[in-house]
């Protein structure tokens, strides 16, 4: 009892002491500029995806109230994993509590400029290849992105013409029109795969639904397609790590999946993917896996439909990255590990999934998944009218790659000894159909 009173009294006096200094030290633009520069300008500058630039006080001031709201509600910077699981992620964009506080205080104090700040150059933008001259470059052959309107997902299939299997030490995106490229994924399509099999090569292509979903019944999961590398705003090229490489088999094609968004001006995009061959056989192979629940069947008006998939490792691997993938009805996404010894671990929690951001979450330190460990990919979908992005709450929604259809994929990258084959995990969907509905039929991925 006494102790509690003492603490309260001490806290009270400390508060009194702090008050005058808090009132005097008005937060000015000069105080928040470093935060804006570090955390916002990567996107909020001319030529980037952010709709306005925050380079100078005059550019920023009209947005003060919107900035306050966006940082308080944590809608900006775009970052969707929760605080706890973000701590293990190296590319987290989340603001710290004190950064948010500084911005809020600045706006509440009138968003003043304070002592004139010398012009600071905008955050440096990368030009040219960051990892040096690539051994192979695949280039988008000019896509005309309109000033307005929705642009369909666009594909580009490019044969590698490799005469033998090749180890790839790194791949890098060099994005041309950064203001309109919302995301790009490059997949490796091995020779046996039926993914986009009927698409023409070396030309940009809007595939039909049947083409995108076609899949041979006997096609093994590992033969399907592998995510080589993704791009999204804020992307930093990074090799997979010393002694690690991905394997592209002889006869494989590289398939770009491109999501452009109109940004007010007609532009033509010539983005490039650079591929760097490994100088020697790597110690570890990096493989991207895609556990998925393709049997999902989301009933009409269901506000929190659960869907789950699992990867169970059949040999020791190291987990490097995770990328949850859902569409318009995606609500939240959890990735959990159950280690071979029974311990469980929350690897990634995305409480407010946003389909507009296809974020790859890179672990700062790889996590060992020993043989017998598993990862569960738990998605929820909101097919109710309360979901403002829902195109039609009265429909049962099945697997499909159009935005009005749904997907639950948990792309992951794992590393394991290079001499091992790629069958390192068993992938399964673990959903139970919602009461009163038939499970969706497997229509391919
Ligand atoms: C990774 C890119 C990126 C970063 C980093 C980023 N923004 Fe944004 N911002 C956007 C995009 C794109 C939009 C347009 C709306 C959308 O697509 O969500 C936007 C919109 C906004 C808006 C308009 C209102 C709203 O909430 O939609 C505000 C305000 C804003 N950003 C503030 C910030 C601030 C402040 C920061 C840094 C603390 C920041 N942004 C960092 C990409 C970014």
Here the CATH number for the domain that contains residue 376 is 2.60.120.230
Domain membership of residue 118 (yes or no) is no
The whole-number pLDDT of residue 442 equals 41
The answer to whether the beta carbons of residues 411 and 290 sit under 8 Å apart is yes
Q: How confident is the model at residue 120 (pLDDT cuts 50, 70, 90)?
A: low
Lowest mean pLDDT among 56-60, 231-235, 282-286, 426-430: 231-235
Domain membership of residue 257 (yes or no) is yes
Domain membership of residue 208 (yes or no) is yes
Regarding the beta carbon of 182 and ligand 1, being less than 6 Å apart is answered no
The whole-number pLDDT of residue 103 equals 97
The whole-number pLDDT of residue 155 equals 92
**What average pLDDT score do residues 176-194 get?**
89
Q: Locate tokens 């969707």: which residue?
A: 80
In a shared domain, residues 258 and 158: yes
Asked whether residue 214 carries a pLDDT value surpassing 70, the answer given is no
Tell me the pTM. Answer: 0.84
Give the strand pairing for 284-289 and 244-248.
parallel
Regarding the beta carbon of 330 and ligand 1, being less than 6 Å apart is answered no
Q: What is the CA radius of gyration of the chain?
A: 24
CA distance 393 to 303: 9
**What average pLDDT score do residues 230-257 get?**
89
CA distance 375 to 373: 7
Higher-pLDDT residue of 330 and 49 is 330
Domain membership of residue 128 (yes or no) is no
For the stretch 94-129, what's the b/e string if a residue is b when 16 or more beta carbons lie within 10 angstroms of its beta carbon?
A: bbeeebbebbbbbbeeebbebeeeeeeebbeeeeeb
**What average pLDDT score do residues 165-178 get?**
94
**Cβ-based neighbours of 15, under 8 Å, separated by 6 or more:** none
Mean pLDDT of all residues in the chain?
86
As given in the structure block, the two tokens for residue 325 are 């993938």
**What average pLDDT score do residues 156-179 get?**
94
Asked whether residue 276 carries a pLDDT value surpassing 50, the answer given is yes
The answer to whether the beta carbons of residues 302 and 383 sit under 8 Å apart is yes
Asked whether residue 233 carries a pLDDT value surpassing 80, the answer given is no
In a shared domain, residues 163 and 79: no
Q: Which among 121, 111, 116, 219 is positioned nearest to 442, based on CA atoms?
A: 219
In a shared domain, residues 404 and 363: yes
CA distance 216 to 193: 8
Asked whether residue 428 carries a pLDDT value surpassing 80, the answer given is yes
Lowest mean pLDDT among 44-48, 85-89, 349-353: 44-48
The answer to whether the beta carbons of residues 89 and 362 sit under 8 Å apart is yes
CA distance 324 to 347: 12
The whole-number pLDDT of residue 118 equals 61
User: Measured in whole angstroms, how far is the alpha carbon of residue 128 from the centre of its chain?
Assistant: 23
User: Measured in whole angstroms, how far is the alpha carbon of residue 269 from the centre of its chain?
Assistant: 21
Regarding the beta carbon of 76 and ligand 1, being less than 6 Å apart is answered yes
In a shared domain, residues 292 and 395: yes
Atom of ligand 1 nearest to the CA of 93: 5
In a shared domain, residues 278 and 294: no
Q: Which of 50, 80, 102, 263 is the best mutation target for the ligand 1 pocket, counting ligand atoms within 8 Å of the beta carbon and taking the most?
A: 50
Higher-pLDDT residue of 151 and 52 is 52
In a shared domain, residues 39 and 9: yes
The whole-number pLDDT of residue 402 equals 66
In a shared domain, residues 75 and 204: no
In a shared domain, residues 350 and 263: no
The whole-number pLDDT of residue 441 equals 45
Asked whether residue 22 carries a pLDDT value surpassing 50, the answer given is no
User: 23 C-alpha vs ligand 1 centroid, how far in Å?
Assistant: 30
Asked whether residue 357 carries a pLDDT value surpassing 60, the answer given is yes
Asked whether residue 215 carries a pLDDT value surpassing 70, the answer given is no
Cis preceding linkage at 77, omega within 30 = yes
Domain boundary among 235, 252, 282: 282
Domain membership of residue 129 (yes or no) is no
CA distance 41 to 99: 15
Atom of ligand 1 nearest to the CA of 99: 38
Q: Indicate the SS3 state at residue 350.
A: strand
Q: Which of 41, 66, 77 is the best mutation target for the ligand 1 pocket, counting ligand atoms within 8 Å of the beta carbon and taking the most?
A: 77
Q: Which among 184, 281, 286 is positioned nearest to 226, based on CA atoms?
A: 286
Express each pLDDT in 48-89 by its tens digit. Answer: 888 899 989 999 999 999 999 999 999 999 999 999 999 999
Inter-helix orientation angle 64-72/97-108, to 10°: 150
Nearest residue (by CA) to ligand 1, atom 32, is 67
**CATH number for the domain that contains residue 220:** 2.60.120.310
Strand partners, 381: 305, 330
Nearest residue (by CA) to ligand 1, atom 11, is 50
Domain membership of residue 300 (yes or no) is yes
In a shared domain, residues 263 and 354: no
Domain boundary among 108, 128, 149: 108
Regarding the beta carbon of 71 and ligand 1, being less than 6 Å apart is answered yes
Regarding the beta carbon of 262 and ligand 1, being less than 6 Å apart is answered no
Query: In the β-sheet with 204-205, what is the strand arrangement from edge to edge?
Result: 204-205, 154-159, 253-260, 181-189, 226-231
The whole-number pLDDT of residue 443 equals 39
What is the residue range of 175's domain?
A: 136-282
Domain membership of residue 121 (yes or no) is no
Q: What is each CA distance from 108 to 15, 71, 112, in whole angstroms?
A: 20, 13, 10
Regarding the beta carbon of 94 and ligand 1, being less than 6 Å apart is answered no
Domain membership of residue 9 (yes or no) is yes
Q: Which among 143, 385, 402 is positioned nearest to 262, based on CA atoms?
A: 143
Regarding the beta carbon of 123 and ligand 1, being less than 6 Å apart is answered no
In a shared domain, residues 76 and 154: no
Lowest mean pLDDT among 20-24, 240-244, 342-346: 20-24
As given in the structure block, the two tokens for residue 10 are 């001490």
Asked whether residue 21 carries a pLDDT value surpassing 50, the answer given is no
**What average pLDDT score do residues 406-415 get?**
93
Asked whether residue 325 carries a pLDDT value surpassing 70, the answer given is yes
Determine how many CB atoms are found less than 10 A away from the CB of residue 226: 25
CA distance 55 to 44: 8
Q: What is each CA distance from 374 to 226, 313, 336, 338, 378, in whole angstroms?
A: 20, 6, 8, 5, 13
Regarding the beta carbon of 357 and ligand 1, being less than 6 Å apart is answered no
In a shared domain, residues 348 and 328: yes
In a shared domain, residues 277 and 206: yes
How many domains in the chain? 3
User: 388 C-alpha vs ligand 1 centroid, how far in Å?
Assistant: 19
Among 125-129, 205-209, 286-290, the range of highest mean pLDDT:
286-290
Asked whether residue 96 carries a pLDDT value surpassing 50, the answer given is yes
């Amino acid at each position: 009892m006494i102790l509690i009173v003492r603490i309260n009294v001490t806290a009270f006096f400390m508060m009194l002491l702090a008050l005058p200094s808090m009132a005097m030290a008005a937060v000015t633009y000069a105080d928040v500029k470093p935060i804006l520069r570090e955390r916002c300008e990567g996107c909020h500058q001319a030529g980037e995806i952010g709709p306005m630039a925050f380079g100078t006080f005059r550019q920023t001031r009209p947005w003060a109230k919107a900035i306050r709201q966006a940082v308080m509600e944590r809608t900006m910077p775009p970052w969707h994993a929760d605080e706890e699981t973000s701590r293990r992620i190296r590319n987290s964009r989340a603001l710290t509590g004190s950064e948010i506080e500084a911005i809020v205080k600045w706006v509440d104090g009138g968003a003043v400029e304070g002592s004139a700040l010398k012009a600071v150059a905008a955050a440096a933008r990368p030009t040219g290849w960051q990892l040096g001259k690539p051994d192979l470059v695949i280039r988008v052959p000019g896509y005309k992105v309109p000033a307005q309107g929705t642009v369909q997902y666009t594909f580009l299939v490019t044969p590698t013409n490799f005469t033998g299997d090749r180890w790839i030490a790194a791949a890098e995106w060099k994005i041309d029109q950064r203001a309109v490229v919302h995301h790009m994924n490059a997949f490796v399509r091995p020779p046996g795969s039926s993914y986009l099999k009927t698409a023409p090569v070396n030309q940009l292509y809007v595939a039909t639904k049947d083409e995108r979903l076609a899949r041979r019944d006997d096609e093994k999961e590992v033969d399907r397609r592998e995510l080589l590398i993704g791009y999204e705003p804020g992307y930093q090229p990074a090799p997979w790590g010393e002694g690690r490489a991905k394997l592209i088999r002889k006869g494989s094609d590289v398939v770009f999946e491109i999501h452009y968004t109109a940004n007010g001006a007609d532009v033509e995009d010539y983005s490039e993917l650079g591929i760097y061959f490994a100088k020697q056989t790597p110690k570890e192979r990096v493989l991207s896996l895609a556990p998925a629940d393709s049997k999902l069947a989301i009933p009409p008006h269901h506000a929190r439909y659960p869907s789950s998939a699992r990867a169970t490792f059949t040999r020791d691997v190291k987990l490097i990255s995770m990328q949850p993938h859902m569409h318009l009805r995606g609500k939240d996404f959890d990735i959990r590990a159950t280690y071979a010894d029974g311990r469980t671990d929350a690897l990634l929690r995305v409480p407010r999934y946003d389909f507009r951001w296809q974020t790859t979450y890179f672990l700062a330190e790889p996590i060992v998944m020993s043989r017998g460990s598993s990862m569960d990919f738990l998605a929820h979908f909101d097919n109710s009218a309360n979901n403002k992005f829902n195109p039609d709450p009265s429909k049962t929604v099945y697997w499909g790659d159009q935005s009005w259809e749904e997907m639950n994929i948990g792309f992951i990258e794992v590393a394991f000894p290079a001499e091992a084959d790629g069958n390192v995990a068993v992938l399964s969907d673990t959903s139970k159909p919602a009461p009163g509905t038939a499970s969706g039929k497997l229509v391919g991925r």
